[in-house]
Amino acid sequence: MSDITTLLEIFGGTGAVMLAVGTCMWKCFQRHDYELKEGFWDRNVPQKTLSNNWETKGENFPPLENFGSSWKRRKFSKSVKKNEVNVYKVNIEKKHGNVYVYIDNTETPPPQNGGQHFLRVKFSHVPKNAKMKFQLKHYKGDLNCWLPSAFHFPKEKDIKPRHWCCCFKNTVYTFEPYCKIGDKDVTKDQIGICLTGGDVPIDDVYIEEAYLGEKLSIKNIFCCGRQKYTLLSRKRQKINDDN
């Protein structure tokens, strides 16, 4: 107690703030497990997490231009490099169509997720009034048969611009729908992001990060303008002691 009193006597209000911040950090450290990965974490790469692509033609798509096949068309959404990392770059003119960037999935979420998927995506920016949303679609049958579930409808969540202040915008979004695999007729699902060129075009929207799996926090650590590490943190699981 004397050390705390001395700290407050010497630094006054600053000491109180330091004490509060230190206490908060210690409590956070006690409640979470941490893991440090070198460089950009390979499970957070969009092309690996959301490897499939389905593009649909819109009403204003040029009639003389050949649209081609919808599956893996990769014209609205293209793989490019940004800051030495593979990302998706999405451009869709007004009412030219939409793209669904997703992954086919047959596995239930990790037990610690409580039956929910955890999809975390980071965008370069989210245009105001643009049509962007998360989607989870439920299917029945084997991998050669993709028929929609007769019991569960698709789950969607709009992606809207948000910010904490006028100069800082949060472009990390999460989607945590309940997985229905094993419920009724559902044997698999598709989870991802749908971007539509509606009344507002999709102009140079980059999908910079995408992760699907155990619920956790991801922080990129930079030095001299380059990413050196990725810090992962997850809530520490309580251990039941029956003794």
The domains found in the chain, sorted by start residue, are 1-34 (no CATH), 39-235 (2.60.120.260)
**Is the dihedral angle over the CA atoms 164, 208, 233, 35 positive or is it negative?**
negative
CA distances from 13 to 10, 24, 27, 202 (A): 9, 17, 21, 48
Beta bridge partners of 131: 196
- The full 3-state SS of 193-233, as one line of letters, equals EEEEECCCCEEEEEEEEEEECCCCEEEEEEECCEEEEEEEE
The pLDDT, as a whole number, for residue 162 is: 76
Task: Note whether 200 and 140 are within 8 A (CB).
Answer: no
The pLDDT, as a whole number, for residue 243 is: 46
CA distance 187 to 201: 35
CA distance 189 to 139: 6
Total-model pTM: 0.84
- H-only helix segments in the chain: 2-11, 13-31, 46-49
CA distances from 107 to 57, 194, 216 (A): 31, 22, 18
Best CA proximity match to 131, nearest among 177, 176, 98, 175: 98
CA distance 40 to 58: 36
Q: Which residues in the chain land under pLDDT 70?
A: 1-32, 163-169, 238-243
51-67 exposure pattern, b = at least 16 Cβ within 10 A, e = fewer: eebbbbbbeeeeeeeeb
CA distance 32 to 59: 50
SS3 165: strand
